[in-house]
Structure 1
Amino acid sequence: MTLQGTLRRTGIVGLCAAALLVGGGLPVAAADSGPQGRLNGLDWELKDTGSTARLRGLSAVSRHVAWASGSAGTVLRTTDGGRTWASVGPPGTEALQFRDIEAFDADSAVILSIGEGEDSRVYRTDDAGQTWTETFRNDHPAAFYDCMTFFDARNGLALSDPVDGKFRVLSTADGGRHWEILPNDGMPAALPGEFAFAASGQCITSAGRSDAWIATGGGATARVLHSADRGRTWTAAESRIPSGPAAGVFALAFRDRAHGIAVGGDFQPGAPSPDAASRSTDGGADWTSAAQPPPAYRSGATWLPYSTSVAIAVGPTGTDVTLDAGRTWRPFDTGSYDTVDCAFDLGCWASGEQGRVARLQ
């Protein structure tokens, strides 16, 4: 869900903070776990949103500005670091689930609702949620849109589960104001039972000007699909994360066009999730299982800005951090979160069930 490019510019203060925290490796790399099991130097600070919605959509603009979206047509926005939140969802959408949100700044954002047929929609606001414009409504009964990503302030993609045997991709070139369905002749055939998980808004991600990746599960193999031309053509690779009816890759995060992490597992409560993380160093062509994966299913992941080695993964049973680019993961919090996102000024946020939102300390 992280917006790439120059959308989240930071000033001197942000750059200095980044240099101190992650410039050459996070100082907590040598720290021991704290008394509550969290890693010293990393901690979630819960924010009171006043909402009980499940917030699976999240977009971090800065340490002060963040947007979250979720069930019952909920869209929340803060501009003061989470001290106060405004409920700004489109009126009349209480039956929709906004599983993904991409914010460009404090005023402009695009939201995606999931579901079969016309439940899959896209809306955009440019006045901080005071008004919304519906910019896409699905009219294909077999399409089910799960997630979206933006390369920059204008160009983005939205992903649907397979239609006629192939994943369907929408494209926009004007910031989500208009969308077109891309031709599927460059998309590999979907495996039997294969689909994407609308769990965190991170089943599709992007890096740079033209590279995008899709996370899959549900079939015999959980795959990662890669496009180097903004969704026109795709190649597929095995993710090394086990797949099944409720299992596979739930989230992808790439810090550049070569280095990526994948997290997932089986989302059924209590189900084992071995090998719930993997990593790639060649743009997703090959994946290696984490030597020490998270202990359970994880649905969201993000890299810490300015670091080549530090990333965070979240799920209903806790948060984990890697200090070695996904080779090993260590838990530091047991709170329930569905998704996570970082802005370029090191404003990292997480959100989940019962209106839970937190900012990384």
Structure 2
Amino acid sequence: MNKRYPFLLGGLVLGLGACKETVYIADSYSTMRYDALALPAAADSLALYTVDFVSAREGFVGGAGGSLFATTDAGATWSRRSQPALGTINKLLFTTATAGWAGTSSGLYRTANGGQSWQYVPTGDAYGYAIGVQDLQFVTPLVGYAVGSGGGINKTTNGGTTWASVQRRPDKRYTFRAVSFTSPDSGTVVGNEQSRWLTTNGGQTWSFVDYYSGRSADYYGYDILRFNASTYLLAAPDGFKAFSPAYSYGRDADDGYQHALYGLATAGPKGPVVGVGYRTIVRNHPAYSLQKDNPWVNVHAPDGTSYAATYFAADFADAGTFYAVGPRGLIHRFHYQ
């Protein structure tokens, strides 16, 4: 669903040591039923990287080559609205069934007609060069953030009419991949080289950590879902991670299911949360956890086997249904309950 506003989930139990960031991850599994949906013919060669539902029935998916599809019947049928000139669509964020944003490899775009046409909106890095946008979030109807290549972090305070860079370190030019703010001024950005940047004043200043480790360029943060400055979920190449200052659990081996996680999604305040990735879905389900204070479990297919699919992103249409997308036009509709 539309994620314009901060996420405040009550009763979330995560794990973090008192001195350093340790994590606690899923230790068991539950099952979840799903439906495989089909795009129009010849779309099965396209990788889908983003999905956004604005209601239980109206939603959009996008990905490689400007591929864009819309549904008004909960995924039963899809209309093609692809725009190759957009480049790869990394993030879709619609506020209504007609008004929305696309963060793409060629920049930031907005639409007022459900993706039939798009208007380019300039964004830049600390040097003023245009950025490819990886993720964006509106924290209020007026305040939003967009992040991407070249160390780009952009902010709007007028509902997206104009954007300005709030990245003060031009020497930091790795790609930022995800942004999550819990108020107009307080948020976290993550990306390559294990980068994690935090601000409490709307980007006027940042505290950050990063580590050049010689790993591949996409190492570390694929997605983040933040609840406050020290409590958040992270999707990363080595799997799902949960951080909190309240508990001192160490890291668990996760029964061998710790595959790369690419996306996180929630249905909103106090709603369900899922993480998706390589043959992996993680959900908050205390009844299936083997640990007293750890609610996170791996989800298996209805027959008890691991999911064979890879998912790049997910989004809830309502509290009981979410959609996940992946390679070769993959769209699955999951029944969360």
The residue aligned with 1:104 is: 95
Shift of the alpha carbon at 1:75?
1.6
Q: Alignment partner of 1:5: what SS?
A: coil
Q: TM-score, normalized by length of structure 1? A: 0.70
Q: Which amino acid aligns with 2:94?
A: A
Which structure 2 residues correspond to residues 320-359 of structure 1 after superposition, within 5 A?
320-323=282-285, 328-333=296-301, 334=307, 335-343=309-317, 345-359=319-333
Query: Residue 38 of structure 2: which of 48, 53, 61 is its match?
Result: 48
Counterparts of 1:24 and 1:211 in 2: how far apart (Å)? 21
2:114 is the alignment partner of 1:153: no
Counterparts of 1:59 and 1:111 in 2: how far apart (Å)? 11
Shift of the alpha carbon at 1:318?
2.8
The residue aligned with 1:126 is: 112
Counterparts of 1:331 and 1:6 in 2: how far apart (Å)? 26
Gap runs ≥5 in structure 2: 13-27, 287-292, 302-306
Counterparts of 1:350 and 1:211 in 2: how far apart (Å)? 28
Query: Residue 79 of structure 1: which of 58, 72, 80 is its match?
Result: 72
Q: Alignment partner of 2:60: what SS?
A: strand
Q: Which amino acid aligns with 1:111?
A: A
8 Å Cα contact 1:339/1:352 also seen in 2: yes
The residue aligned with 1:3 is: 3
Provide closer, same or farther for how the CA distance between residues 196 and 5 of structure 1 changes in structure 2, counting only shifts above 3 A.
closer
Which structure 2 residues correspond to residues 276-315 of structure 1 after superposition, within 5 A?
276-281=239-244, 290-293=251-254, 294-307=257-270, 310-315=272-277
Q: Alignment partner of 1:342: what SS?
A: strand
8 Å Cα contact 2:124/2:165 also seen in 1: no
Q: Which amino acid aligns with 2:5?
A: G
Which structure 2 residues correspond to residues 207-218 of structure 1 after superposition, within 5 A?
207-217=182-192
Counterparts of 1:300 and 1:67 in 2: how far apart (Å)? 16
Identical-residue share of aligned pairs (%): 15
Query: Residue 215 of structure 2: which of 233, 238, 244 is its match?
Result: 244
Shift of the alpha carbon at 1:264?
0.9
Q: Which amino acid aligns with 1:172?
A: T
Q: Alignment partner of 1:244: what SS?
A: coil
Gap runs ≥5 in structure 1: 8-21, 26-32, 115-119, 198-202, 266-272
Structure with higher RCO (Cα < 8 A, 6+ apart): 2
| Equivalent pairs, count | 298
8 Å Cα contact 2:49/2:91 also seen in 1: yes
Counterparts of 2:249 and 2:104 in 1: how far apart (Å)? 33
Counterparts of 1:137 and 1:287 in 2: how far apart (Å)? 41
The residue aligned with 1:268 is: none
Q: TM-score, normalized by length of structure 2? A: 0.74
The residue aligned with 1:181 is: 165
